[in-house]
Amino acid sequence: MQGETDGNSAKMVRLSPKTSASLPRTMVAKRIVFAGKVQGVGFRYATKEIARSFDVCGWVKNMPDGTVELQIMAETDSELEGFLNELTEESSVAHHIQSMHAQVIPPLEGVKGFRIER
């Protein structure tokens, strides 16, 4: 019995690091355009503050047509969706959003942290 336990333990120890090291880290990124009264109400600031509570990076900026564009990236879809849920359902600016258009985009390159673009 002891031989089986040792064999299984050794096998688990060997496979665990090898498995996680061989899996590529794929980032999930989205571009979202928010419409409604999303400019002049602190939308970008609120978005940046919410981003501080999540493991996300990207940027947010006002667009000339009155919308706000957000490009956001996370290691997992659940982290990204948690951030979006907080912003669109629970934040102080959520009620200003009349519509949003989201699309999956390639991972953002050279982006660290979260910033407001001007």
Identify the structural domains of the chain with CATH numbers, from first to last: 28-117 (3.30.70.100)
User: Catalytic residue positions?
Assistant: 44, 62
Average pLDDT over the chain reads 86
pLDDT attached to residue 26: 80
pLDDT digits (tens, 9 = 90+) for 11-21: 444 444 444 44
CA distance 7 to 94: 54
pTM over 0.85? The answer is no
φ, ψ of residue 105 in degrees (nearest 5): -125, 165
Q: Which residue has the higher pLDDT, 91 or 21?
A: 91
pLDDT band at 25 (very low <50, low <70, confident <90, very high): low
The answer to whether the CB of 47 falls within 8 A of the CB of 87 is yes
pLDDT attached to residue 24: 55
CA distance 47 to 91: 9
E strand or H helix at 55: none
